[in-house]
Amino acid sequence: MKYRKSCTWLLLIAMLFSFAFASEAAPSRVLKLGHSVTEDNAYHLGALKFKELVESGTKGDIQIDIFPNGQLGTGERDIIEGLQLGTVDIYAGSTGPMGGFEKRFLLFDFPFLFKDKKHVYDVLDGEIGRHILGLLDAKGIHGLAWMENGFRNLTNAKRPVGSPADAAGLKIRTQENKVHMAMWRALGSDPTPMAWSEVFTALQQGTIDGQENPIPVIYTSKLYEVQKHLAITRHVFSPAMILIAKPLFDSLPPDQQEVFKTAAQEAALHERAICDKMEKDYVDLLKQNGMEITTPDLSLFQKASQSVYNDFKAELGDDAGLLDQIISSGK
- Structure pTM? 0.85
- Does 14 map to a domain? no
Whole-angstrom distance, CA of residue 143 vs CA of residue 137? 8
**What's the pLDDT score for residue 120?**
96
Position 248 confidence tier, pLDDT thresholds 50, 70, 90? very high
- The proportion of the chain whose per-residue pLDDT surpasses 70, expressed as a percent, equals 92
pLDDT at 115 over 50: yes
**What's the pLDDT score for residue 195?**
85
Residue 94: partners with Cβ closer than 8 Å, 6 or more residues away: 76, 149, 175, 238, 239, 240, 241
Whole-angstrom distance, CA of residue 231 vs CA of residue 210? 11
- Does 15 map to a domain? no
- Does 36 map to a domain? yes
Q: What is the dihedral of CA 230, 289, 222, 119, to 10 degrees?
A: -50
pLDDT digits (tens, 9 = 90+) for 190-247: 999 998 889 999 999 999 999 999 999 999 899 999 999 999 999 999 999 999 999 9
Q: Exposure of 255 by Cβ count < 10 A (0-12 exposed, 13-18 middle, 19+ buried)?
A: exposed
- The proportion of the chain whose per-residue pLDDT surpasses 90, expressed as a percent, equals 85
Nearest to 176 by CA among 88, 91, 100, 239: 100
pLDDT digits (tens, 9 = 90+) for 123-147: 999 999 999 999 999 999 999 999 9
How many C-beta atoms surround the C-beta of residue 94 within 10 A?
A: 26
Position 52 confidence tier, pLDDT thresholds 50, 70, 90? very high
Number of domains in the chain: 1
Nearest to 92 by CA among 45, 136, 155, 128: 45
Position 16 confidence tier, pLDDT thresholds 50, 70, 90? very low
pLDDT at 11 over 60: no
pLDDT digits (tens, 9 = 90+) for 260-312: 999 999 999 999 999 999 999 999 999 999 999 999 999 999 999 999 999 99
- Does 4 map to a domain? no
- Does 325 map to a domain? yes
- Does 10 map to a domain? no
Task: Please write down the HEC assignment for all residues of 126-160.
Answer: CHHHHHHHHHHHHHCEEEEEEEEEEECEEEECCCC
pLDDT at 15 over 80: no
**What's the pLDDT score for residue 24?**
52
| 118-122 average pLDDT score | 95
| 173-187 average pLDDT score | 94
CA dist 38 to 116, 172, 265, 299, Å? Answer: 26, 22, 22, 34
- Does 21 map to a domain? no
**What's the pLDDT score for residue 199?**
96
Average pLDDT, the chain: 92
Position 9 confidence tier, pLDDT thresholds 50, 70, 90? low
pLDDT at 254 over 80: yes
**What's the pLDDT score for residue 274?**
96
**What's the pLDDT score for residue 23?**
44
Whole-angstrom distance, CA of residue 205 vs CA of residue 59? 49
pLDDT digits (tens, 9 = 90+) for 150-169: 999 999 999 999 999 999 99
- Does 77 map to a domain? yes
Residue 17: partners with Cβ closer than 8 Å, 6 or more residues away: none
Nearest to 157 by CA among 116, 197, 207: 207
The domain in which residue 171 lies consists of 27-329
**What's the pLDDT score for residue 26?**
80
For the domain that residue 184 is a member of, what is the CATH number? Answer: 3.40.190.170
**What's the pLDDT score for residue 74?**
85
